[in-house]
């Protein structure tokens, strides 16, 4: 093994990582630095040390030609361990095998593939420590990069180490770079090390030439090595100091390639253009170009020139800059000819053959374009949206009909918007001939751009969409439905006036949809939740939860949520989430779980709310549902504040507030204010709580929200009572009372009923309390707790101390069960004042568990095995096993079958 000069500190870090994986603990490390700085040499050193230590090494390097092909890197990387896929759960095994095979018949959702890779590597690491080496991350296909990012973040308990490298100037936007992995920056060599390296590479170099090489290379090991090898120094870039180093190296490598004999030059050109490193495919294609049989020995001049390597039926460039130099010299005609012969050289992979045919086309070709469109459909069904988009973009460029081309461009943009690379493809928006799309298509395009760039179109956006649909909805009903769905879902968060709401309703009603269909229910509920609430609730009530599975069920759950039927919404959303999770539809799962997190929060099912929010956050690195992640995180922050975790709750609120303000999405600040108000109540600061919550209910405030303001009413009234500001909320409560009467919203009816006694005179309070308890408040634990506490406090003030104890005990028990300790303590204070001593309840054993441990314990208690738990929580099954080893002693048990009892006993 070649000794690396000047890399002692980097080698120490890598050796420590190898030692940890040898001891059974996994992890990841990302190397970054300039081209040629020595990242690949360090990766080779890691691979060599790992093999010497008896570890299994899996390696792959990204390249530009295959960057658009989903899972192309993963397929090569995992081939040595794919036999272990037989041990995976069936649905995961099927997804992984489909993704890594050449067939495109079945779907392979990226998220399910990521789970399969995690479990596969975990199993492989159990037999033998595994080191995954990935070079040139910036040129990995996006699907592979996202999968590896998902895996790399979850290897703590597995004997698997991921070591990746990327160019620092190309790493931005890479999922692996944004995964928060530990980074090791590889810098140029210092002066002494550079001199030492040059002495080993060119020991007889004259002093003058040596000085010029050192100055030109500026500590870059590749430059030191390759410039020293250059025979004609003047002609290889040493004197052109104004050029960047990479350009000088490009000249060196380009000159070296031009000096090669035929057919070596042709072989290198094919290698630079092709997306495969298979030697047989290379030789066959070269034979087609030169018109005679080409053999492996014909590549020897390229090896001798130090440009390429050949091993085990594969061939590649020794460095990406060498590939770039050769690729840059290929003319357009040569490139088309290479693609044409590759199309005839590829064996069983029909999609690759088609792609090379498409690249070989010199002009419009509808036959190829139509085939590409069908290929894109297959890829999209597999979850390979980026690859599908690339195919559609090429299809658009080959389309003779301008209108067809524009719609294919639009479909490509939709695909890119669902992938991780849309921001890099934004210039494509300028290439679309919008005059060929029609008004609906242009609106659709604008909405996609806003969503993909996380920008906010403003409150006038739904109005524009409604007007467009009323005028042009018949041109493309499917597109009109999608436009209005997006507009209505957004409009629920917008403070629209009555005229705008009526316009939205007219547009909704112009669409030919069944009255009890999921889309119609969602449109009616979001478009005008108070006016249509009774009708929506009635139509949902005749359907059984789960009757519509998957995303249609989630839409029905969302509709019920909008119109205040929160318990019904929770049933639908729970069933929908289960179906979406099983199907691997994780983007739609994030939407359903976000709605579920808030439904659980409003119903004070705090643990369930926290679980749903945590799952959305776990999904964030494979769904790109950033808005859902933030919205779910705020629900989790409300729960955290109720449980007294004030610092973490406020940190989440502040971080998300910043993003909402930057995007101008002010009405969603209502959720931020709810977090702050809840946190203030948990700290017994009723004045701060009132100030935070009242803003959500006042139209002149930035965080005012027409619909979500009902969410704050219970806490606002409690804060007003505790701070002596009840007179300041009488008008707000009266407005809510009238709205509840008019809309019939169950949530609103209970909220106004439960808080009404706080505003009543003592003479009338008894009757008002009776009415509140008869409102069905028991289904709404947060309102019920508030009512019980207010009633007990009122009875005690009326000197009915004995009577006060029963509701106060009930409030204390309810809040304690919820984990709302500050509220439980307020009930305890009142109980003590009534003359009843309160013994602090023993600390729950589950309070010693981390959030992850508690989730694992609950799922294990339900009967799920380790692999099933791992898939639900996006962990490796060995992480689940290790957590269970820690859980048992914390709960005072010794066996899995005792978990359910232990959890029941601790609440």
DSSP class of residue 310 equals: E
Share above pLDDT 70 across residues of the chain, in percent, rounded to a whole number: 93
Separation CA 148–CA 73 (nearest Å): 10
What's the CA angle centered on 618, arms 613 and 619, to 5 degrees?
Answer: 95
**Which whole number is the average pLDDT over 562-582?**
91
Q: What is the pLDDT of residue 31?
A: 94
Q: What is the pLDDT of residue 458?
A: 64
Q: What is the pLDDT of residue 104?
A: 46
- On the question of pLDDT at 231 being above 60, the answer is no
Tokens linked to 809: 């005990």
Separation CA 754–CA 773 (nearest Å): 7
Separation CA 114–CA 120 (nearest Å): 10
**Which whole number is the average pLDDT over 708-726?**
94
What confidence tier does 236 reach under pLDDT thresholds 50, 70, 90? Answer: very low
Burial class (CB in 10 A: 0-12, 13-18, 19+), 499: exposed
Q: Convert the pLDDT of each residue in 894-907 to its tens digit.
A: 889 888 888 876 55
Question: What's the pTM?
Answer: 0.79
Q: What is the pLDDT of residue 894?
A: 85
Separation CA 627–CA 630 (nearest Å): 5
DSSP class of residue 842 equals: P
Q: What is the pLDDT of residue 623?
A: 63
Residue 263: is the preceding peptide bond cis (ω within 30°)? Answer: yes
Q: Which one is predicted more confidently, 267 or 428?
A: 267
Q: What is the pLDDT of residue 207?
A: 80
Dihedral of the alpha carbons of 35, 36, 42, 47, in degrees to the nearest 10: 90
Q: What is the pLDDT of residue 234?
A: 45
Q: Which one is predicted more confidently, 191 or 241?
A: 191
């Amino acid at each position: 093994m070649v000794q690396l000069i000047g890399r002692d500190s980097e080698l120490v870090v890598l050796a420590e990582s190898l030692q940890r994986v040898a001891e059974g603990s996994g992890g990841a490390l990302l190397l970054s630095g300039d081209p040629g700085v020595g990242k690949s040499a360090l990766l080779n050193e890691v691979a060599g040390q790992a093999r010497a230590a008896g570890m299994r090494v899996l390696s792959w390097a990204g390249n530009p030609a295959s960057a658009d092909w989903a899972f192309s890197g993963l397929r090569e990387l995992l081939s040595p361990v794919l036999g272990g896929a037989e041990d995976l759960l069936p649905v995961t095994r099927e997804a992984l095998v489909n993704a890594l095979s050449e067939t495109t018949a079945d779907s392979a959702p990226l998220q399910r593939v990521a789970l399969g890779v995690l479990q596969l590597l975990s199993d492989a690491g159990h037999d033998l420590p595994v080191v995954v080496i990935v070079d040139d991350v910036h040129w990995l296909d996006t699907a592979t990069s996202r999968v590896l990012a998902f895996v790399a973040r979850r290897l703590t308990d597995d004997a698997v180490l991921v070591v990746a490298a990327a160019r620092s100037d190309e790493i931005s936007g890479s999922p692996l770079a944004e995964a928060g992995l530990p980074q090791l920056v590889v810098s140029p060599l210092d002066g002494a090390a550079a001199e030492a390296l040059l002495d080993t590479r060119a020991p007889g170099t004259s002093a003058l030439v040596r000085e010029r090489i050192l100055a030109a290379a500026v500590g870059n090991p590749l430059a030191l090595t390759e410039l020293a090898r250059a025979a004609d120094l003047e002609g290889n870039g040493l004197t052109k100091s104004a050029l960047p180093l990479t350009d000088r190296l490009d000249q060196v490598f380009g000159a070296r390639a031009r000096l090669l004999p035929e057919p070596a030059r042709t072989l290198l050109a094919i290698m630079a253009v092709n997306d495969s490193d298979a030697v047989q495919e290379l030789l066959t294609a070269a034979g087609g170009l030169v018109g005679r049989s080409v053999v492996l020995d014909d590549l020897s001049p390229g090896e001798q020139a130090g440009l390429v390597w050949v091993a085990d039926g594969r061939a590649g460039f020794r460095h990406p800059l060498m590939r770039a130099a050769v690729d840059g010299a290929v003319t357009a005609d040569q490139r088309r000819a290479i693609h044409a012969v590759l199309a005839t050289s590829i064996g069983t992979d029909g999609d690759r053959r088609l792609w090379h045919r498409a690249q070989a086309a010199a002009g419009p070709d509808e036959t190829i374009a139509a085939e590409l469109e069908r290929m894109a459909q297959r890829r999209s069904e597999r979850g390979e949206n980026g690859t599908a988009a690339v195919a559609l973009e090429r299809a658009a460029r080959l389309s003779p009909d301008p209108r067809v081309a524009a719609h294919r461009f639009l479909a490509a943009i939709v695909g890119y918007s669902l992938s991780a690379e849309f921001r890099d493809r934004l210039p494509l928006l300028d290439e679309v001939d919008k005059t060929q799309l029609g008004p609906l298509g242009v609106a659709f395009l604008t909405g996609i751009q806003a969503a993909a760039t996380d920008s906010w179109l403003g409150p006038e956006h739904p109005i524009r969409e409604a007007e467009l649909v009323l005028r042009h909805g018949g041109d493309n009903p499917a597109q009109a439905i999608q436009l209005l769905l997006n507009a209505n879902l957004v409009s629920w968060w917008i403070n629209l006036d009555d005229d705008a709401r009526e316009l939205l309703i007219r547009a909704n009603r112009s669409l030919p949809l069944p009255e009890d269909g999921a889309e119609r229910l969602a449109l009616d509920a979001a478009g005008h939740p108070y006016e249509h609430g009774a009708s929506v609730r009635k139509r949902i009530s005749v359907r059984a939860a789960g009757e519509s599975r998957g995303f249609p069920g989630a839409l029905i759950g969302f509709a019920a949520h909008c119109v205040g039927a929160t318990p019904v919404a929770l049933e639908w959303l729970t069933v929908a989430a289960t179906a979406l999770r099983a199907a691997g539809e994780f983007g739609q799962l994030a939407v359903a779980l976000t709605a579920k997190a808030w439904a659980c929060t409003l119903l004070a099912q705090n643990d369930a709310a926290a679980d749903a929010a945590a799952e959305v956050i776990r999904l964030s690195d494979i769904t790109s549902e950033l808005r859902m992640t933030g919205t779910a995180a705020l629900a989790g922050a409300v729960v955290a504040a109720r449980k007294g975790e004030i610092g973490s709750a406020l940190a989440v609120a502040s971080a998300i507030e910043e993003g909402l303000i930057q995007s101008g999405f002010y009405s969603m600040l209502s959720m931020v204010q709810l977090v702050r108000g809840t946190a203030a109540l948990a700290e017994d600061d009723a004045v701060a709580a009132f100030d935070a919550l009242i803003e959500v209910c006042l139209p002149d405030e930035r965080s005012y929200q027409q619909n979500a303001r009902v969410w704050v009413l219970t806490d606002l009234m409690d804060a007003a009572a505790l701070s002596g500001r009840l007179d300041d909320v009488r008008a707000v409560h009266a407005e809510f009372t009238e709205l509840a009467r008019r809309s019939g919203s169950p949530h609103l009816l209970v909220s106004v009923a439960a808080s009404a006694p706080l505003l009543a005179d003592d003479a009338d309070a008894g009757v008002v309390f009776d009415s509140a308890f008869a409102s069905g408040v028991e289904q709404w634990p947060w309102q019920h707790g508030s009512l019980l506490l207010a009633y007990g406090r009122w009875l005690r003030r009326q000197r009915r101390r004995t009577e006060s104890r029963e509701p106060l005990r009930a409030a204390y028990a309810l809040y304690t069960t919820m984990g709302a300790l500050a509220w439980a303590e307020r009930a305890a204070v009142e109980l003590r004042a009534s003359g009843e001593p309160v013994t602090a309840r023993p600390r729950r054993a589950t309070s010693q568990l981390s959030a992850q441990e508690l989730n694992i314990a609950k799922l294990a208690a339900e009967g799920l095995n380790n692999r099933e738990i791992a898939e639900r929580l996006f962990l490796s099954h060995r992480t689940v096993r290790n957590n269970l080893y820690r859980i048992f002693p914390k709960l005072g048990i010794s066996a899995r079958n005792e978990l359910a009892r232990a959890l029941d006993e601790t609440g």
